[in-house]
Amino acid sequence: MKNKFFYKMIDSELHFIIEQYNAYLVQNNINTDERKKSFAFNIWFLKKAGVLDGDILSSITEWSWDNSADSIFTLENYDWKTEFYILQSKWNTIQRCEENIDAKTFNWIITEFNEIKQSKKDLFDTRNESFRLKYQQLLNHVRIWGKINFIILTFKNIDLDTKDKKRIDLFNQDKDFVELLIFDINKLKIDYIDEQYKWFKVKNPLISPRKPQEYIELNPVSLNEWNHKIIKFPTPYESYMFFIKPKEIYDLFKKYEYSIFQDNIRNPLEQSGFNKKIADTLKDEPQNFWYYNNWITWIAKRIEKPNLESPDVTIKIKWLQIINWAQTFKTISDYYSNLTSSDRDILDDNVKITFRIINSPGDIFDKNITKYTNSQNTVTPRDFYSNDIEQQRLQKDFFKYTNIWYETRRGEFTKRTPEWIYKIENTFFAQVYLAFYLQSPEKAKSQVGKIFFSKTDNGFYEDIFNKDTKYTDLFIACSIYEFISGKEREYKKKYNHIIKKLKKIEWYEDVIDLMPEVWNSWPSQDEIMELDKAFVFHSSYHILMIYKSFLDVKGGDYWWKLAQWYWGDDKKMLAELDKIYDEIISRMKDYLIPEKYENPWFTLTKYFKSLESTKELKELFWM
| Residue 206 pLDDT | 77
Cα-based distances in Å from 144 to 83, 177, 226, 619: 12, 11, 47, 76
Cα-based distances in Å from 19 to 16, 40, 92: 5, 10, 19
C-beta neighbour count of 119 within 10 angstroms: 12
| Residue 390 pLDDT | 95
Answer whether residue 555 shows pLDDT above 70. no
- Residue 322 forms beta bridges with which residues? 298
Inter-residue contact 412 to 198 (CB < 8 Å): yes
Where does the pLDDT of residue 214 fall: very low under 50, low under 70, confident under 90, or very high at 90 and above?
A: confident
Tens digits of per-residue pLDDT, 330-379? 889 999 999 999 999 999 999 989 888 888 887 777 777 776 666 555 56
Answer whether residue 268 shows pLDDT above 60. yes
Q: Which of 18-22, 70-74, 318-322, 423-427 has the lowest mean pLDDT?
A: 318-322
Answer whether residue 614 shows pLDDT above 80. yes
Both ends of the chain: CA-CA distance in Å?
A: 36
What span, in angstroms and rounded, lies between the C-alpha atoms of 113 and 180? Answer: 9
| Residue 566 pLDDT | 62
Is beta strand 315-318 parallel, antiparallel or unpaired with respect to 302-304? antiparallel
> Which among 26-30, 85-89, 192-196, 541-545 has the top mean pLDDT?
541-545
Tens digits of per-residue pLDDT, 486-514? 999 999 999 998 888 777 666 555 555 54
3-20 and 185-196 helices, crossing angle to 10°: 70
Inter-residue contact 398 to 419 (CB < 8 Å): no
Q: Which helix (H) or strand (E) covers residue 233, if one does?
A: strand 230-233
Q: Which of 278-282, 370-374, 438-442, 488-492 has the lowest mean pLDDT?
A: 370-374
DSSP conformation letters of 347-397: HHHH--EEEEEEE---HHHHHHHHHHT--SSPPPGGGGGTT-HHHHHHHHH
Tell me the residue type at 146: G
| Residue 379 pLDDT | 65
| Residue 248 pLDDT | 92
| Residue 65 pLDDT | 46
Where does the pLDDT of residue 615 fall: very low under 50, low under 70, confident under 90, or very high at 90 and above?
A: very high
Q: Per-residue pLDDT averaged across 297-314, rounded?
A: 84
| Residue 324 pLDDT | 73
Tell me the residue type at 61: T
pTM of the model: 0.73
> Can you tell me whether residue 608 is helix, strand or coil?
coil
Inter-residue contact 432 to 545 (CB < 8 Å): no
Where does the pLDDT of residue 611 fall: very low under 50, low under 70, confident under 90, or very high at 90 and above?
A: very high
Answer whether residue 234 shows pLDDT above 90. no
> Which among 192-196, 221-225, 428-432 has the top mean pLDDT?
428-432
| Residue 78 pLDDT | 66
